[in-house]
């Protein structure tokens, strides 16, 4: 009998994002495909990590994280949104937001359960569920503002539904869920007694007056919501692997125990650095971040429009989802490859964000880049104009 790998391998294939990154570096292009920021982390946060190493924070922390980071997270959410959580029992520090969702799904869902996922989706969410034999049931959000219908959400529920996943602000659309939309979700969650998993990693990246409403703050949501956040985006430290979740004590304990099994703990010195950032920075840091990213967002949206690519200007996060249907090609992958060959700018084909062929005219561009890199990308996009006039 030949050796066989597990069924789960089907969801561990190379993502379209990594694939575009490889294609991009092959031609020395500008990579607007990967969702990581090439910006430097704030100096005080880096200094705090160095100090933590010197001070001996080099061993395992508690599986739920360093007490000082849990206290910082609790303080931050209390001050910003009025969410109260006991740092000892209601917060778990994890290996990124990715680790938080994995451990939450592992500990709260069974194989065969269904989870509602809004589409277009972030691939890691769907692959995490798939790896755990949990079935994603998709509810479509429609451009330009990515609204969804209550009836569609309600009719997606079956007797196997165990949870709803919300990503706000969302990747790839930049959608920021409005209070009225969250009320629809909380109504359905209460009606069918469901968990709600919320990925709020982009909570600080908001544009044009949009506000972040944490779903856990809505009536009836405190007990059923696993609120997930992380430091990757707010401090540009994607490689540090620091995330967290805040939820009811009983869920937090189960999630913490799975975090222990999978990772033992998140990296200790980086936990200390993130704690220093959270406690040390005031609102002006986050306002500065928003302003900086708002400029980048405008720059990219304008360049895309000028090159004949129709952007859906994002309400939050740091991606522009855009219509690339005017480019030659039969699929989003072919169109993205055409763009890369022609201009040297890499994006992610829209098919990566849909379970069917609905993304074939779409692509995602990341604008978390230093201004000179983004400017270079925007200039290169102009080559498309020339192409049209030839
Ligand atoms: N959640 C969303 C929606 C993301 O877009 C990303 C990264 O692109 C992550 C989570 C990853 O977060 P972390 O680095 O904390 O695992």
The three-state (H, E, C) secondary structure of 75-90, written as one string: HHHHHHHCCCCCCCCC
Report the alpha-carbon distance of residue 361 to residue 323 in Å, rounded.
6
> Measured from the CB, is residue 117 less than 6 Å from ligand 1?
no
CA 244 to the chain's CA centroid: 13
Report the alpha-carbon distance of residue 138 to residue 196 in Å, rounded.
15
Return the structure tokens found at 355.
Answer: 């379970």
Q: Whose CA is nearest to atom 7 of ligand 1?
A: 35
Four-residue CA torsion sign, 122, 124, 127, 132: negative
> Measured from the CB, is residue 366 less than 6 Å from ligand 1?
no
Determine the pLDDT at residue 9: 76
Using CA atoms, how far residue 26 sits from 22, 30, 33, 368, in Å, is 6, 11, 14, 21
Backbone angles phi, psi at 362, to 5 degrees: -120, 160
Using CA atoms, how far residue 58 sits from 52, 263, 270, 329, in Å, is 8, 15, 10, 51
Determine the pLDDT at residue 16: 78
Q: Is the pTM of this model over 0.85?
A: yes
Q: What is the pLDDT of residues 79-106, one digit of tens each?
A: 999 999 999 999 999 999 999 999 999 9
Q: What is the pLDDT of residues 258-313, one digit of tens each?
A: 999 999 999 999 999 999 999 999 999 999 999 999 999 999 999 999 999 999 99
Q: Measured in angstroms, how far is the CA atom of residue 268 from the centroid of ligand 1?
A: 20
Answer whether residue 13 shows pLDDT above 70: no
Q: Measured in angstroms, how far is the CA atom of residue 98 from the centroid of ligand 1?
A: 6
Q: Measured in angstroms, how far is the CA atom of residue 385 from the centroid of ligand 1?
A: 34
- Beta carbons of 170 and 280 less than 8 angstroms apart: no
Choosing from 168, 201, 236, 241 the residue with most ligand 1 atoms within 8 A of its CB, the one to mutate for a pocket test is 201
Question: In terms of DSSP bridges, do strands 135-140 and 114-119 run parallel, antiparallel, or are they unpaired?
Answer: parallel
Report the alpha-carbon distance of residue 101 to residue 122 in Å, rounded.
12
> Measured from the CB, is residue 316 less than 6 Å from ligand 1?
no
- Beta carbons of 82 and 71 less than 8 angstroms apart: no
- Beta carbons of 154 and 123 less than 8 angstroms apart: no
Integer-rounded Cα Rg, in Å, for the chain is 21
CA 90 to the chain's CA centroid: 22
Determine the pLDDT at residue 379: 96
Determine the pLDDT at residue 285: 97
Q: What is the pLDDT of residues 114-162, one digit of tens each?
A: 999 999 999 999 999 999 999 999 999 999 999 999 999 999 999 999 9
Query: What DSSP string describes 22-38?
Result: HHHHHTT-EE-SS----
Q: Measured in angstroms, how far is the CA atom of residue 318 from the centroid of ligand 1?
A: 12
Looking at ligand 1, which atom is closest to the CA of residue 98? 16
Q: What is the pLDDT of residues 234-253, one digit of tens each?
A: 999 999 999 999 999 999 99
Three-state SS at 137: strand
CA 325 to the chain's CA centroid: 25
Determine the pLDDT at residue 12: 66
Q: Measured in angstroms, how far is the CA atom of residue 93 from the centroid of ligand 1?
A: 15
Return the structure tokens found at 302.
Answer: 């304008």
């Amino acid at each position: 009998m030949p050796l066989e790998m597990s069924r789960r391998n089907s969801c561990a294939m190379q993502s379209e994002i990594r694939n575009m990154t490889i294609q991009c570096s092959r031609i020395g292009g500008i990579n607007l495909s990967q969702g990581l920021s090439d910006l430097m982390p704030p100096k005080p946060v880096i200094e705090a990590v160095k100090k933590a190493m010197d001070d001996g924070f080099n061993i395992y922390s508690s599986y739920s994280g360093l007490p000082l980071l849990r206290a910082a997270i609790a303080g931050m959410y209390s001050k910003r949104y009025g969410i109260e959580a006991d740092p000892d029992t209601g917060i778990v520090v994890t290996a990124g937001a990715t680790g938080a969702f994995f451990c939450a799904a592992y500990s709260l869902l069974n194989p065969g359960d269904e989870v509602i996922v809004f589409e277009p989706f972030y691939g890691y969410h769907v692959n995490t569920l798939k790896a755990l034999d949990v079935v994603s049931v998709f509810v479509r959000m429609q451009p330009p503002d990515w609204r969804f219908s209550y009836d569609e959400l309600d009719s997606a529920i079956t007797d196997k539904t165990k949870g709803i996943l919300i990503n706000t602000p969302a990747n790839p659309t930049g959608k920021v869920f409005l209070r009225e939309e969250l009320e629809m979700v909380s109504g359905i969650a209460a009606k069918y007694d469901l968990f709600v998993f919320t990925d709020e990693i982009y909570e600080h990246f908001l544009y044009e007056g949009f506000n972040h409403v944490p779903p856990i703050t809505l009536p009836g949501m405190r007990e059923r919501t696993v609120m997930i956040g992380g430091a990757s985006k707010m401090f540009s430290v994607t490689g540090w692997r620091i995330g967290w979740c805040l939820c009811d004590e009983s869920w937090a304990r189960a999630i913490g125990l799975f975090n222990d099994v999978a990772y033992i703990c998140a990296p200790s010195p980086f936990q200390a650095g993130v704690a220093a950032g959270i406690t040390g920075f005031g609102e002006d840091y986050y306002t500065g971040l928003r302003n900086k990213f708002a400029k980048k967002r405008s720059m990219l949206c304008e360049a895309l429009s000028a090159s004949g690519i129709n952007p859906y200007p994002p309400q939050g996060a740091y991606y522009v989802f855009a219509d690339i249907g005017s480019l030659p090609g039969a699929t989003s992958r072919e169109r993205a490859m055409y763009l890369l060959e022609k201009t040297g700018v890499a994006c992610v084909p829209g098919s990566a964000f849909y379970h069917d062929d609905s993304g074939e005219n779409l692509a995602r561009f990341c604008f978390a880049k230093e201004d000179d890199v983004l400017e270079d990308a925007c200039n290169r996009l102009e080559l498309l104009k020339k192409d049209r006039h030839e």
